[in-house]
Amino acid sequence: MAKKLVGRRVEGWKAKSWFKVHVPENLGKAYIGDTIANDTESVVGRIMQATLGEITNDYAKQHIKMRFKISSVTGDAAYTEFVGHDVTRDYLRGLIKRRSTRVDCLVPIMTKDQKKVRLTISCYTLARANVGQIHAIRNAITANVQAQAVAWDLNTLVTGIVTGEISRDLFKVVKLLYPVRRIEIVKSKVEPVAAPEPGSK
């Protein structure tokens, strides 16, 4: 009986296929690994992870972990869409300095292609900030990002995150309010958008 079960397991393994997983086109369709499945239908929806350093061959960006969901399969190639990122804890600990303040902002946005995204943005000041200054920094970051988001599609947002362009733009705004050392988008998450109810406009 045991021998028969082993035989079945080997047969099932051989029946599975390997699929090569690629990141979205705006990140160069880079190959990030393989996944195995019985059929293409069971591949779609899987979450894959890779560092930005691996994707771009820039190992100075190994601290940025990118997450992708497989959205389509062609032959043995699986293509993905971006669903979020986060920055490693070790990297964030290195940004914290004595006698300074870390201001965290949770900013929900809706892109022009109707992607609902939650961004976590951290601002690191040069000196300790008081409560009023913290509120001013948080309000400036939130207002600026939400104002710009209406012109972004998801690809534009992802490009702005990985190139640091959004962080640099925020730095220019916030430094007018209070001396800051760095601004980082430390986390993002693409959330499902509820389908409209039948008959609604």
Together in a domain, 101 and 27: no
Together in a domain, 102 and 182: yes
CA distance 160 to 184: 11
Together in a domain, 11 and 65: yes
pLDDT for 10 equals 47
Together in a domain, 171 and 97: yes
Which pLDDT band holds residue 18 (cuts at 50, 70, 90)? very high
Domain count, the chain: 2
pLDDT by residue (tens digit) across 76-99?
999 999 999 999 999 999 988 889
Together in a domain, 80 and 45: yes
Residue 197 domain-assigned?
Answer: no
DSSP state of 26: G
Least confident of 4-13, 59-68, 75-84: 4-13
* Helix, strand, coil in percent for the chain, rounding step 5: 35, 35, 30
Both tokens of residue 114? 């109707």
Together in a domain, 107 and 133: yes
Which pLDDT band holds residue 1 (cuts at 50, 70, 90)? very low
Residue 181 domain-assigned?
Answer: yes
Domain boundary among 86, 120, 138: 86
Q: Other C-beta atoms within 10 Å of 88: how many?
A: 14
What H or E segment, with its residue span, contains residue 35?
A: strand 31-37
Together in a domain, 40 and 110: no
Domain residues for the domain of 36 are: 2-86
Q: Other C-beta atoms within 10 Å of 180: how many?
A: 22
- Burial class from Cβ neighbours inside 10 Å (0-12, 13-18, 19+) for residue 170 reads buried
Together in a domain, 153 and 185: yes
| Residues comprising the chain, all counted | 201
Q: Which amino acid appears at position 33 of this protein?
A: G
Give 44-106 as a DSSP string: TT-EEEEEHHHHHT-GGGTTEEEEEEEEEEETTEEEEEEEEEEE-HHHHHHH--TT--EEEEE
Residue 200 domain-assigned?
Answer: no
| pLDDT, average across residues 109-119 | 95
